[in-house]
Structure 1
Amino acid sequence: MHILWDFDGTLFNTYPAFTETMYKLLKSEVKKEHIFEQLKVSFSHAASTFGMTDEDIADFKRNEKALSPVLKPPFPYVEKVLKHASKNVIMTHKTRSEVDAILNYYGWEHYFDEIVAGDDGYPRKPDPASYIYLHQKHHIDLAIGDRELDILPAKKLGIKTCLFQNDSEGADFYLIDYRQFAYKVAPSFK
């Protein structure tokens, strides 16, 4: 099985660190749960919701990049899925240097045949350009993401989709925990 992965919130549990970073920056009465919910839609959505200035956005990005990879751990059992797949690729809005730093910290760089990062020049999701490129090169069977915008490009291409920790309508499969992969998703590809 060839899997296209989103990075933040799908492979790595980065949103708690993002939430804490934004919470400190906003210095307001906004609850962390509300920040988390808005970030899960998208960073630009959260920035707009909270009226962040360009300076605020730059501060957030600088502070988030400075966080140790230890604060951005992989989700439990996701490594088993990576090992199960015959090919793994990543499409993320995160910069290549940030992706590489986290993958190298956890020793996971060898699991991925290719990474399309935010600074590679492709339009942002849900534009399908990066998915088209990855699908043509790697013949993707499944796209896994934590947000609807992660699966929309795959759906346009007829690729099966899986939402992780998100029950929005439209995905072919849903996982709350990667332990479920072996019996919920994998049998569909035999």
Structure 2
Amino acid sequence: MRNKSIKYTEYIWDFDGTLFDTYPVMVKAFQEALKESGVIEKPEVLLHSMKKSIIETIHSFQSRYQLGELFFERYLEIRQSYSLDEQPPYSDAMKVCNQIVQQCGRNFIVSHRESPSLFALLDYYEMRQFFTEIVTGDHGFERKPSPEAYNYLIKKYQLKKGLSLAIGDRILDIQAGRAAGIKTVFIRSNDGLECDFADFRIDSLKEVLSL
């Protein structure tokens, strides 16, 4: 029987910036790729743009500075050169995901990140076992804010929408969850982004358990 201390049973997580603190490496890798092309940009500017949409950020810089199609590949190469130790989970991520499983809930991930790097991080920090299914960019679903990946999980696992949460740190995550018809949780960070239309807004992962 499910422990009554958690109201929701299904937790659909974003990955970068939600479960794992990967944005510092992503921003540094983007800066390095730009610098190789003779472009200098402040990290705070890149972070603000990447938190809205990484793909749109890449396309914007490619168009503005005529960087070419190989720029994205170079960015990925540089990002992958950073150690896994530099891309840890947030302090409460493992504890929260484990507690959800212990209380008979289920965790899922919907991310645009490619499978090899996402699974490498989960395995390195021994967190893969907490997730029922992990949807990555390699699955071929439409990118958020499309709800396609969320609808796939809802249908496959017969998730009850009233007991499901979509959790993320970007407006795209909230838009996708709302479009799928489930409750949404926006995780605030120190980047100044807000999302007034999320069902819940929290400042730390552990607050998810009290919703």
Same fold (TM over 0.5): yes
RMSD: 1.6
Partner of residue 43 from structure 1, selected from 32, 54, 73: 54
Distance apart, 1:47 and its partner CA: 1.4
Corresponding residue number in structure 1 for 2:4: none
Alpha-carbon distance in 2 for matches of 1:7, 1:182: 18
Corresponding residue number in structure 1 for 2:172: 149
Q: Deviations over 1:137-182 (max 9, x none)?
A: 3316101011111121221222010011242221011122223334
Corresponding residue number in structure 2 for 1:18: 26
SS at match of 1:88: strand
What does residue range 56-135 of structure 1 map to in structure 2 within 5 Å? 56-85=71-100, 86-135=105-154
| Identical columns (%) | 33
SS at match of 1:162: strand
Corresponding residue number in structure 1 for 2:205: 178
Runs of 4+ in 1 over 4 A off after TM superposition: none
SS at match of 1:168: coil
With the length of structure 2 as denominator, give the TM-score of the two structures.
0.81
With the length of structure 1 as denominator, give the TM-score of the two structures.
0.90
Where do 5+ consecutive residues of structure 2 fail to align? 1-8
Contact in 1 for aligned 2:31/2:41 (Cα 8 Å):
yes
Larger Rg: 2
Q: Deviations over 1:92-141 (max 9, x none)?
A: 11111111100000000110010111111211111211110111233161
Contact in 2 for aligned 1:38/1:49 (Cα 8 Å):
no
Q: How many residues align?
A: 184
Where do 5+ consecutive residues of structure 1 fail to align? 186-190
